[in-house]
Structure 1
Amino acid sequence: MKVFTRIENVRQYPPVFIALGTFDGIHIGHQAIITRTVEQAKSKNCSSAVFTFSNHPLNVLDADRCPPLIVTNQEKVNLIADLGVDMLFNVPFNTELLQLSPEKFLEKLVNNINLRHVIVGANFTYGYRGAGTPALLTSFGSRHGFTVDVVSMVDVEGVIVSSTTIRQLVADGAVKQAADLLGRPATITGKIIEGDQRGRNLGFPTANLAIQQGLLVPADGVYAVYVNDETGRKFNGVANIGNNPTFTRQTRRIEVHILDFDRIIYGQQLKVQFLDRIRGEIAFTCVEQLKQQMKADIEFARKYYFV
């Protein structure tokens, strides 16, 4: 997949079928739009493309209201590439784009890209103050030689799939339900940092992950997880998110106990996939209670998730 970080002239490529959207979670609704783009482009011997932003527009519009990221920008790029897209316009949203009227934004696209067909979601808006609508896009396309396909919102058992709903589910710890809407487990990738060795002293060594600022993190508690190391190998694990109230620690962190694993891996990147929440965070009255509960959590995870 060819990645562009600005709107560049790509008329040397075959005519383009392009998906437009923020695509801030690459959930199953976004996947439906992008997959349709790829399939239709292939059927017409055209190039497939996605136009999106490398940062959330609210970072520029109103940073205080900007929601936490479901995926990092690099994860977003990787997920789009996995869908078989030929070209990605992963453009930083800035004040210049903010001030473009819907017509000027579309003119910028047609002046640089040989558009044949555009695919958007039913709730797609664009241009200054989001004034652009799919109807306006269709009208513009009829004048400039491209057609438009508007994809209906996807629902799962009556729940409309949206990034807002997914964020709320993950924030509530309902990662299993969130996975149904994402089409994959909620995931956090982070570098292992050196902790206070308390888990190892308790008999349950943990890899401590630094939480990237602005990234969506599940609610405090204990989770059954899959863990991938830098080589891509997958392990079973149990992760704790929280402040470790038994020891009155104040810094929120993710601590992962990888089952049947005993290697020093400080400094490596781990990808943690959250399967389900086992329990909420508990402040124990003594260390022995904590040890017994950790043992029970691991046994529960082995029995119900890692058969």
Structure 2
Amino acid sequence: MKIYNHFSEFKRLSNAVATIGTFDGVHYGHQKIINRLCELAKSTGGESVILTFFPHPRLIIDPENQDMKMINTINEKAKILAGLGVDHLIITPFTRDFSNLTPQDYIKEILVETIGIKQLIVGYDHRFGKDRKGGLTELEAFSGRYGFEIEQIPEQDINDVAVSSTKIRQALLNGKVALAAEYLGYHFSLSGRVIKGDKIGRTIGFPTANIFIEETYKLIPSDGIYAVTVALNGGLYKGMAYIGQRPTINGMTRNIEVNIFDFSQEIYGQDITMNFLQFLREDVKFTGLEALKEQLHKDKEATLSYFEKAP
């Protein structure tokens, strides 16, 4: 898959089959649209194109509301889309000027003159252009003039999936990572760089890798202990992750840490990915480090039991 970070990098295609959207999470509902996109491109000898936006349009249109977090970073999204067989991904910088394009200018300047669409696939509720005034009616009105066809994914097909990015975000914020995985079709993950911590975990037999997440817009699940797998240096390890403020030692900042089982390498400065499989328990303040250590042994047993029973 070829990735373009601006329209200026993209060379107009002679037979583009395109779809448009933020596709946060690239969940089952999104996958129905994308699979149809790739299928149609292949059957017509065209090339599949996804036009997506960064940052999320809502953060630009409603700058006062910065609380919205994304299921995927832009790199994670690109990786998933590549795995689905998409030929071209255009990541459009979403700006005020872009949001003020009229529906007609959007169709003419972006879809026709820049991308070269011959076929456009949209969801039943797709909106575009200034104040989201553009929709299927506007697309149909200009399709004949500009020589492209439209295929709309019916509402029933999308609703049969019974999933949305909003539902997934809510599940993750409630710690329901297994439910989120059912919606997504894959396990939610966090990727970041291993940084130095205060090494308290080592003193009680549970050394942890402290993870720094660079992308501030990335959603972090609720505080607690999770069963995870850890991808590192081409290997995949079992472990248990912790998210929280470490109340037992009166911590002041929210930490993301992982205890990797049967692992003793020094990995400071390296990038790792944690895949969240199961929520184990909420974050709790213990009476001291000995009580915490006792609970961590129970957490490890619960994690290993999960892996033994997992399909």
* Distance in 2, Cα, partners of 1:33 & 1:204: 44
Show structure 1 runs of 5+ residues with no match.
Answer: none
* Distance in 1, Cα, partners of 2:162 & 2:137: 22
* Distance in 2, Cα, partners of 1:103 & 1:165: 33
Alignment of 1:197-212 (within 5 A): 197-212=199-214
Aligned to 1:89: 90
* Distance in 1, Cα, partners of 2:217 & 2:276: 18
* Distance in 1, Cα, partners of 2:158 & 2:14: 34
Give the superposition deviation at 1:155: 6.4
Supply the RMSD in Å over aligned alpha carbons. Answer: 1.7
| TM-score, normalization by structure 2 | 0.93
Q: Give the residue type in structure 1 aligned to 2:175.
A: G
1:53 is aligned to 2:25: no
**Aligned partners of 1:236 and 1:306 also within 8 Å:** no
**Aligned partners of 1:38 and 1:84 also within 8 Å:** yes
**Aligned partners of 1:211 and 1:253 also within 8 Å:** no
Q: Give the residue type in structure 1 aligned to 2:184.
A: L
- Work out the percentage of aligned pairs sharing the same amino acid: 39
Aligned to 2:303: 301
**Aligned partners of 1:115 and 1:146 also within 8 Å:** yes
Tell me the SS of whatever aligns to 2:64.
helix
CA change 1:80–1:99 in 2 (3 A) is: same
Aligned to 1:69: 70
Show structure 2 runs of 5+ residues with no match.
Answer: none
* Distance in 1, Cα, partners of 2:279 & 2:128: 37
Aligned to 1:37: 37
Give the superposition deviation at 1:61: 1.2
**Aligned partners of 1:10 and 1:114 also within 8 Å:** no
1:98 is aligned to 2:115: no
Aligned to 2:193: 191
Aligned to 1:247: 249
Alignment of 1:121-270 (within 5 A): 121-152=123-154, 160-212=162-214, 213-229=216-232, 231-270=233-272
| TM-score, normalization by structure 1 | 0.94
* Distance in 2, Cα, partners of 1:166 & 1:16: 31
Residue number among 266, 273, 276 corresponding to 2:275 in the alignment: 273
* Distance in 2, Cα, partners of 1:303 & 1:152: 43
CA change 1:218–1:191 in 2 (3 A) is: same
Aligned to 2:108: 107
1:74-96 Cα shifts (integer Å, max 9, x gaps): 11111111111111111110122
* Distance in 2, Cα, partners of 1:42 & 1:81: 15
Deviates more, 1:287-296 or 1:145-154: 145-154
Give the superposition deviation at 1:50: 0.5
Give the superposition deviation at 1:58: 2.0
Q: Give the residue type in structure 1 aligned to 2:255.
A: R
1:67-119 Cα shifts (integer Å, max 9, x gaps): 11211111111111111111111111012211101111111121123211111
Q: Give the residue type in structure 1 aligned to 2:40.
A: Q
* Distance in 2, Cα, partners of 1:78 & 1:64: 30
**Aligned partners of 1:27 and 1:181 also within 8 Å:** yes
Tell me the SS of whatever aligns to 1:241.
strand
Q: Give the residue type in structure 1 aligned to 2:135.
A: T
* Distance in 1, Cα, partners of 2:213 & 2:179: 22
Aligned to 1:24: 24
Q: Give the residue type in structure 1 aligned to 2:92.
A: V
**Aligned partners of 2:29 and 2:161 also within 8 Å:** no
Give the superposition deviation at 1:244: 0.6
Deviates more, 1:132-141 or 1:166-175: 132-141
1:239-285 Cα shifts (integer Å, max 9, x gaps): 01000100010110111001111111011111011111000011111
CA change 1:152–1:64 in 2 (3 A) is: farther
Q: Give the residue type in structure 2 aligned to 1:28.
A: Y
Runs of 4+ aligned residues of structure 1 deviating over 4 Å after TM superposition are: 153-156
